[in-house]
């Protein structure tokens, strides 16, 4: 990929999407080149060898259910490599979908060191843990996997202290043929975008996080990660009129029929959530109305 040409076209960052970069020499060169142009490299910290074949958090729940596990070390080993390359290159790094307490400790230390690092977490990881997969329910098959109660609590603490900069929807729709299979064979992924608001509000209520602070993790926090500064993510004079108008108190039940995504799979099917989008405005134009 010609980074220089992409920079001229307005590109702000690069990633390997869900695929790991196995060759660290390639990753080193990519980060050196990205730093030259001021790009951010986006990476999901998961060692491909330690995670190969795994479908659940490596712990007592997976062992009891006979499921192949993905250990926390898959995240931390990848993080050690990525952070060392940041030290070597100076490249700005964004870490996607953090899942473990040990991994968050490394991110916290890297920030304290002054490394140009940011991180996010998937909204469903604010609530669910490995024991929630229950009776091999493939709706709970996600990547990275839901981890332990300790990891979930560490995620919430990392949001509070600023170690985690943003909350993402991790919107990964999966069709019925790929999802309605035995747990170990099902494709990982859930519908996340339509539940980003109610699940963020649920976390805010349970942790007594202020509404503005909670919403900041999906607005100004996300804007900062993207390097958009004051041009997005906030309501201010001169900024684009990109708005989400919602009712924070409306209760509704999550159903397949009520979801607009092509993939209608989520652990929250049949559950009642609170908070619903009423209007979406993009550049001053209403593009969605319930």
Decide if 258 is inside a domain. no
**Rounded (10°) CA dihedral 193, 196, 198, 203:** 160
What tokens were used for 282? Answer: 């993009």
Q: pLDDT grade, residue 163 (50/70/90)?
A: very high
Decide if 265 is inside a domain. no
Which residues, 6+ apart, have CB-to-CB distance to 7 below 8 Å? 37, 39
* CATH assignment at residue 71: 3.20.20.140
Residue 21: predicted pLDDT: 78
Q: List, for residues 208-257, the tens digit of each pLDDT value.
A: 999 999 999 999 999 999 888 766 778 888 888 899 999 999 999 999 99
Q: pLDDT grade, residue 87 (50/70/90)?
A: very high
Domain holding 18, by residue range, is 3-237
Decide if 159 is inside a domain. yes
Residue 20: predicted pLDDT: 78
Catalytic residue numbers, as ranges = 170
Regarding beta strands 13-15 and 40-43, do their DSSP bridges make them parallel or antiparallel, or are they unpaired? parallel
Residue 254: predicted pLDDT: 96
Q: What is the mean pLDDT of residues 140-161?
A: 98
Residue 12: predicted pLDDT: 84
Q: Is the pLDDT of residue 99 over 70?
A: yes
Q: What is the mean pLDDT of the chain?
A: 93
- Which three-class secondary structure state does DSSP give residue 140? helix
Per the structure, how many domains does the chain have? 1
Decide if 252 is inside a domain. no
Q: Is the pLDDT of residue 144 over 90?
A: yes
Residue 118 CB neighbours (<10 A): 22
**Cα 209–chain centre separation:** 19
Decide if 275 is inside a domain. no
pLDDT above 90 as % of the chain: 80
Q: pLDDT grade, residue 1 (50/70/90)?
A: low
Q: List, for residues 10-67, the tens digit of each pLDDT value.
A: 888 888 887 777 889 999 999 999 998 889 999 999 999 999 999 999 999 999 999 9
d(CA 277, CA 290): 7
Decide if 244 is inside a domain. no
Residue 239 CB neighbours (<10 A): 13
**DSSP code per residue over 77-115:** HHHHHHHHHHHHH--EEEE-S---HHHHHHHHHHHHHT-
Decide if 48 is inside a domain. yes
Decide if 288 is inside a domain. no
Can the peptide bond before residue 264 be classed as cis, meaning omega within 30 degrees of 0?
no
What tokens were used for 13? Answer: 């960052």
Regarding beta strands 166-168 and 243-253, do their DSSP bridges make them parallel or antiparallel, or are they unpaired? unpaired
In order of 34, 75, 87, 205, 226, the CA distances from 114 in angstroms are 19, 21, 10, 32, 19
Residue 178: predicted pLDDT: 94
Residue 1 or residue 157, greater confidence: 157
Residue 250: predicted pLDDT: 96
Residue 51: predicted pLDDT: 96
d(CA 281, CA 240): 10
- The conformation of residue 131, written as its DSSP 8-state character, comes to G
- Picking from 1, 76, 71, the residue whose alpha carbon sits closest to that of residue 45 is 76
> Which single residue is written with the structure tokens 């109610």?
198
d(CA 194, CA 289): 14
- Picking from 124, 130, 254, the residue whose alpha carbon sits closest to that of residue 196 is 124
């Amino acid at each position: 990929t010609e980074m220089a040409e992409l920079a001229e076209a307005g590109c702000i960052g690069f990633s390997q999407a869900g695929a790991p970069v196995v060759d660290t020499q390639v990753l080193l060169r990519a980060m050196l080149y990205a730093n030259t142009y001021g790009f951010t490299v986006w990476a999901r910290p998961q060692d491909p060898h330690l995670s190969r074949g795994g479908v659940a958090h490596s712990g007592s729940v997976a062992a009891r259910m006979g499921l192949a596990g993905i250990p926390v070390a898959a995240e931390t080993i990848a993080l050690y490599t990525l952070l060392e390359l940041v030290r070597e290159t100076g490249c700005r790094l964004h870490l996607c979908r953090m899942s473990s307490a040990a991994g968050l400790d490394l991110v916290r230390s890297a920030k304290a060191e002054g490394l140009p690092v940011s991180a996010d977490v998937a909204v469903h990881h604010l609530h669910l843990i490995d024991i929630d997969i229950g009776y091999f329910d493939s709706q709970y098959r996600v990547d990275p996997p839901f981890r332990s109660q300790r990891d979930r609590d560490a995620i919430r603490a990392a949001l509070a202290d600023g170690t985690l900069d943003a909350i993402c929807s991790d919107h990964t729709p999966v069709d019925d043929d790929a999802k309605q299979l035995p747990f170990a064979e099902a494709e990982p992924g859930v519908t996340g975008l339509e539940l980003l608001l109610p699940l963020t509000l649920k976390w805010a209520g349970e942790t007594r996080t202020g509404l503005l602070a909670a919403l900041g993790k999906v607005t100004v926090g996300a804007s900062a990660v993207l390097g958009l500064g004051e041009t997005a993510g906030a309501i201010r004079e001169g900024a684009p009129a990109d708005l989400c108008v919602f009712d924070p108190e409306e209760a509704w039940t999550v159903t397949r029929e009520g979801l607009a995504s092509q993939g209608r799979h989520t652990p929250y099917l049949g559950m009642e959530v609170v908070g619903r989008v009423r209007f979406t405005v993009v550049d001053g134009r209403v593009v969605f109305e319930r």
